């Protein structure tokens, strides 16, 4: 009798962030932004996010590719293995009028990011994060860390013993 392995893929992919970019304590709620699109599920509390320095981006703008390049290390799935991180769907909502969907960030503000990715078997990973965008060092007075490439704030709380 010949047996074959049967793989059941019922687990969504995993989004792996670049080291130190995820900041805890940036809180928000998707309810405020849910008016922007039916793609944003209302009532989800968010307790983490990212900090960007708008003036660190040469064009003074941040788009989907900038977000992926500066935040996402890779996307992995247990069955499908590696998934191209540029397949990640990124929804950006600003805080004006209860949330408006935008494609390019051009001003200092707090934004909602929705990341979603689906594997070959239809398992979807959805994550919501806050994005605080400021200009220069003034936004960092209450955080411990450093700027990576003058674009993304890296939390150094857990690795202060590493010399810079």
pLDDT of residue 56: 87
Residue 133's nearest CA partner among 71, 63, 15, 51 is: 51
Residue 76 zone, left/alpha/beta (φ > 0; ψ -120 to 50; rest): beta
* Tens-digit pLDDT profile for residues 4-49: 776 677 889 999 999 888 888 889 999 888 877 888 999 999 999 9
Element housing 78 (H / E): none
> Per the structure, how many domains does the chain have?
1
pLDDT reported for residue 14: 94
7 lies in some domain = no
Q: Given a cut of 60, is residue 161 above it in pLDDT?
A: no
161 assigned to some structural domain: no
Position 3 in a domain: no
DSSP 3-state of 56:
helix
Would you state the pLDDT for residue 163?
Answer: 42
* 68-72, 78-82, 118-122, 158-162: the lowest-pLDDT one: 158-162
Task: Evaluate if residue 160 carries a pLDDT over 50.
Answer: no
Q: Is residue 164 part of a domain?
A: no
Does 8 fall in a domain? no
Whether residue 5 is contained in a domain is answered as no
- pLDDT band of residue 86 (cuts 50, 70, 90) is very high
Instruction: State the residue range of the domain holding 61.
Output: 14-156
Q: Which residue has the tokens 């239809």?
A: 122
pLDDT of residue 120: 86
Compare 1 and 126 and report the one with higher pLDDT: 126
* Inside any domain, residue 162: no
Alpha-carbon distance values, 38 to 35, 87, 103, 117 (Å): 7, 21, 16, 17
**pTM for the structure as a whole:** 0.84
- CB proximity list for 115: less than 8 A, separation 6 or greater: 15, 88, 89, 90, 125, 126, 127, 128, 129
The answer to whether position 58 is within a domain reads: yes
Rounded mean pLDDT of 95-105? Answer: 82
């Amino acid at each position: 009798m010949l047996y074959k392995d049967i793989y059941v893929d019922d687990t969504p992919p995993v989004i792996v962030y670049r080291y130190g970019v995820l900041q805890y304590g940036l809180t928000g709620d998707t309810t405020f932004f849910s008016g922007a699109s039916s793609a944003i599920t209302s009532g989800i509390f968010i307790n983490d996010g990212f900090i960007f320095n708008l003036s660190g981006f040469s064009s003074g703008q941040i788009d989907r590719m900038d977000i992926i390049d500066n935040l996402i290390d890779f996307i992995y799935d247990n069955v499908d293995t590696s998934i191209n991180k540029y397949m990640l769907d990124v929804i950006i909502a600003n805080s004006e009028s209860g949330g408006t969907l935008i494609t390019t960030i051009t001003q200092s503000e707090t934004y909602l990011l929705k990341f979603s990715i689906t594997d070959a078997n239809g398992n979807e990973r959805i994550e919501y994060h806050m994005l605080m965008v400021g200009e220069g060092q003034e936004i960092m007075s209450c955080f411990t860390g450093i700027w990576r490439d003058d674009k993304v704030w890296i939390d150094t709380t857990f690795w202060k013993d590493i010399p810079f």
